[in-house]
Structure 1
Amino acid sequence: MTDKPRCAVSAGKAVQLLLRQEITTLYTDVQLLELGQRVLFDSIDHYCQITGASLYQFTRRGALRDGCTICVGSRYIVLYNDVVYRSPDRLNWTLAHELGHICNGHGDDGWAEEAEANAFACELLMPEIVIRFLASRQRISYLDLQELFHVSGEAAQNRIRQLKRQREYCATGEERELLRKYLPLLRRIRL
């Protein structure tokens, strides 16, 4: 992996994944995405129970705080630590982040890979073009994003900050296509 994260490429992969989905709500439940048979989600405790794997191998020295991905043949298993989650929104973010590692073909967990996985999760759960469309109609706050997209306050605040820092925005053809999929929902929203 290069030292410089390719966040725009990673976000584009999230847009491509969303384009393959049926959009019926602004909330993207990662576990319900159409991913084919190649990705499974499970809690680390359940995985250890059914496979006989040692929980210690995942938790030693803080190796598994939120989630991790293991590859078994051509399939991926995203494991999450269900002990640390008090919020389904936080769990959904972790699953989106791990899916970002998969879609980007990451083999390492360096800072660049983490930035790319976060960019993927951010775009998957709160698509930029959708937020910009909403913001063009009226001012939106992080609380609006939190409510509309079912993300944590921290994730919503980070997304608002990231979009404010970005000076220029030119939607890609895929992003415009994605906006068309969301428009029936967006036209009904009153903030």
Structure 2
Amino acid sequence: MYLSDSQYENIKENVVDMYEECGLTTYPIDCMEIARRLNYRLVPYSKLKGKKLVTAMNISMDGFHMLVEDKVSGMFMWVIFYNDENSHERQRWTILHEIGHIRLDHTQESELAEAEANFFAKYSIAPPPLIHYAQCDDYVDVAVKFDLSIQAAYYSMCYYHKWLQYGPADYEPVEIRMLELFGLAA
């Protein structure tokens, strides 16, 4: 499913807002630190036992999120459950995908929500301006410099090439904001 240009732009803005809120200044992007700074609790599937683990696996083999009431404070907080038997790179993608669902205010499962969360994860984990600055020669470079699986790095490199070919000649304001956060703006 393709998103509209305005949907893509809104997600890019949301990602850079998140970088700012979390004080991110380096890559590879640390999704666990992002979750911590946003006060989201991370729960690996290995911490779940019995019926809870079966339920989690039935919901998703990768991960999911839910709003949970803290028994001590009575406050509600976001909890992201993720399958820690998946590769490290897959876990990172899943956590950013779930953060995307939360930040984009998704309240129901839908093809649109999945497309938006996938783009959120893709853009937050290896945005084209950072790939450009990192001078990645190929997708293996992207995998190493951004701590991605080979498959995710391949897709990130394809997106980077489209960004180079079809994007504007100059950086967009949101991209400049991102580069400034990382100390890379000229």
Q: Per the shorter chain, which TM-score range?
A: 0.7 to 0.9
Instruction: Give me the TM-score of the superposition, normalised by structure 2.
Output: 0.79
1:7–1:115 contact (8 Å) kept in structure 2? no
Corresponding residue number in structure 2 for 1:18: 19
Query: Which residue does 1:114 correspond to in 2?
Result: 114
Give the gaps of 5 or more residues in structure 2.
70-75
Could you tell me the TM-score, scaled by structure 1's length?
Answer: 0.78
**Residue 146 of structure 1 aligns with which residue?**
143
Output the aligned Cα RMSD: 2.6
**Cross-structure match for 1:164:** 161
Render the CA deviation track for 1:96-135: whole Å, top value 9, x for unaligned: 1111111101122322111111111112111222223345
Is 1:126 matched with 2:123? no
Q: Are 2:45 and 2:82, in contact at CA under 8 Å, matched by a contact in 1?
A: yes
The amino acid across from 2:82 in the alignment is Y
Give the Cα–Cα distance (whole angstroms) in 1 for the partners of residues 134 and 84 of structure 2: 33
Q: Is residue 8–residue 119 contact of structure 1 (8 Å, CA) maintained in 2?
A: no
Q: Distance in 2 between matches of 1:146 and 1:18?
A: 21
User: Structure 1 vs Structure 2: percent identity of aligned residues?
Assistant: 23
2:68 aligned to which of 69, 72, 81: 72
1:20 partner SS: helix
* Larger relative contact order (CA 8 Å, sep ≥ 6): 1
Match of 1:42 in 2: 43
State the distance in 2 between where 1:23 and 1:81 align.
Answer: 25
- SS of residue in 1 equivalent to 2:22: coil
Gaps of 5+ in 1: none
Would you say how many aligned residue pairs link Structure 1 and Structure 2?
173
Contact map agreement 1:66 1:80 (CA 8 A) in 2: yes
Displaced runs of 4+ in structure 1, greater than 4 A?
none
In the other structure, the counterpart of 2:56 is 58
